[in-house]
Amino acid sequence: MKRTLLLAACAAAVAATAVAAPKKEAPPAAAPATPAGPATPGAGDWRTPDPNDVLVIDTNKGRIVVEMIPEVAPQHVVQIRALAHENFYDGLKFFRVIDKFMDQTGDPQNSGQGGSSKPDIPAEFTFRRGADMPFAMAADQTVAEVGFVKSLPIESQSMALSAMTKDQKVTGWSLYCQGVMGMARDENPNSGNSQFFLMRWPYPSLEKKYTAWGRVISGLDVVRAIKVGEPVEQPQDYMEHVRVLADLPEKDRPKIRVIDPKGPWFKAEIARVRAAKGADFTACDVELPVEVK
């Protein structure tokens, strides 16, 4: 039930890579020197995520820490959080894993056909961005703005358009960069339930078609270490425990801080990366430093 559209997206990617042998090209010109990075972040450049919005996924390959972003997908975050409270995800396998794409899990049948007993969730492919949303600009494209809401890369219409809308807000959507968490569904846009996927690499064609509700802030190497297969052959990798950070006993709770995208260090880092990438710059090029102790 939850497999069809993700499979179609992957098939398109495979077809796109089936090209003729590359032609011989002249050696590339020397790349311009990359600007030096900003100094080490200071104490004021960090923020501490709300422990109720942090998901700790312990797998047989290691730990993945996810920051959920209720500002962009509130109903999905409520559902994921509730399922984690119930230990629903413990023991579930990564049953469909495609390199250069994503890892899919969250199905009690471990097949892509199941879900939880909770109702399906209406699609939250886009959201309304207002002046009160904690947005940090990465690129002003005049008619659109690219940036971050906490750890999640997003794009929206220009806020200049908000003066012409009834709610004084504009439409925004999440960017499917590496580490972004998306909700699996079938052909019905409102069929998200319990299955989700973790992006191994950027995949822009999913934007505005699948709800993104968070991002891996630690453990992307674990995401990319999950065994590949469609379906995955035994032995399969799995989630041992999935907990909301606030539910963990204090002695077992990792101490987490994430770079604040609205702070001066991150603004300087964005400027550095943009200068290095030039016209090829995307928000996916910007890494968010994280400390987990």
Residue 81 above 70 pLDDT? yes
Give the pLDDT confidence of 223-268 residue by residue, as tens digits. 999 999 999 988 789 999 999 999 999 999 999 999 999 999 999 9
pTM of the model: 0.88
**CA–CA separation, 266 and 274 (whole Å):** 12
* CATH 2.40.100.10 for the 52-292 domain, yes or no: yes
Strands 152-157 and 144-149: antiparallel
The DSSP annotation for 78-112 comes to HHHHHHHHTTTTTT-B--EEETTTEEEE--TTSSS
State the average pLDDT for the chain.
90
Give the pLDDT confidence of 198-226 residue by residue, as tens digits. 999 999 999 999 999 999 999 999 999 99
